[in-house]
Structure 1
Amino acid sequence: MGRNPPLARVLPFPVVDEAWRLALVTGLAAAVLLPLVPPIGAALVALTLGILWFHRDPDRVPPDTGVVSPADGTVSVIRREGERLRVGVFMNVTDVHVNRAPLPGTVREVRHRPGANRPAFSKESERNEQVAIDCDEYELLIIAGWFARRIHPAVEAGDVLDRGERVGHVSFGSRADVVLPSDVDRSDLLVEEGDSVRAGETIIAERRD
């Protein structure tokens, strides 16, 4: 997802590129105010580090088979929509917010839909701003929360994805839903609502491909 600046070498964790732009303002303000007004400067240093930590981007090792979770967090939605199942994962503020492909596939379309900013754990959040990544066998929906206003897809139409590959990230609280292929039914699911999952690693449904 791009190249991080040299400062990234001093962090104990990798971060997405967008983090550096967001942290620049608070970092510069901290540098100015720390010697002049130490308490405020220290608070801005903490805020800058918090922004970078929130946008951390750890490596993951996906399994060879199965449908993997598109996000870190808690399974908040399992329901049937027509002939297909939808599984949603709520990302809390403490979770990694980099999203990953649940299955190999080719991106057919990436669509952005403006909308509301309801809490991401509520049913009303499905009317929130979202980005849909439409692949040949499944659809991944990245849904903004009440505070999340920035969804950053990292793929485009024609891209060929591997299982667990990074597809984008969203800033500050959100949800990621996958509408599973039509040949996956409820008996294939390995998770229930309330389960904790990790993007690109936790298998949420069995499927051989």
Structure 2
Amino acid sequence: NAEPHEPIPAITAADRAAAFQGLDAHVMHGESINSYWSLDRLEAWDADEDGTGMAWEANYAALGVIGLAPYKFEVEATAYVGESGQVGLGAEAEYEMLFTNRLIGQWLIEGEAWSKDDPAVGIGSGLSKVEAGFRLRYEFHRQFAPYVGVVWERAYGGTADQRRARSGDVDDTRVVAGVQIWF
């Protein structure tokens, strides 16, 4: 019940200035341009009608922006330039649910649109596809995380026409397994 021997003094403006020296204003965004190489998806699947397949996401010259929207949704918009003047736009939104520090569920929706048909890779002009899915990954390290998931994809426009000509299907649900790697 005794009073403290030396009470803690009130914090003054000089104390705050000393603690936050050099911070004149709140910094919202960095001013640097960053780059890195990423193999975001390397996965295999077993589809009902098309059999097995592989997918990977890393090519084309790309310029994009990545940010964090309200409620911690990660958003990305990217412009692609490929061979023969092929130009594409992609948009993606994802949300991560942490079950533990290493076990993470990732909800994802993305769409693509391309400037012209490319039958060699099955791309048609206009809105090409929309994909939505859920992947559950385990991060052994932040740079290495295997995952399993389920993905639904639907093709539109010229891409849907090309798929109808090949297999008759414009939408597909598949189980995927893969690894997320970055450095």
**TM-score band, normalised by shorter chain:** under 0.3
Rg: which structure is higher?
Answer: 2
Bigger fraction of residues in helix: 1
Structure number with higher relative contact order (C-alpha < 8 Å, ≥ 6 residues apart): 1
Give the alignment's TM-score, normalised by structure 1. 0.25
Bigger fraction of residues in strand: 2
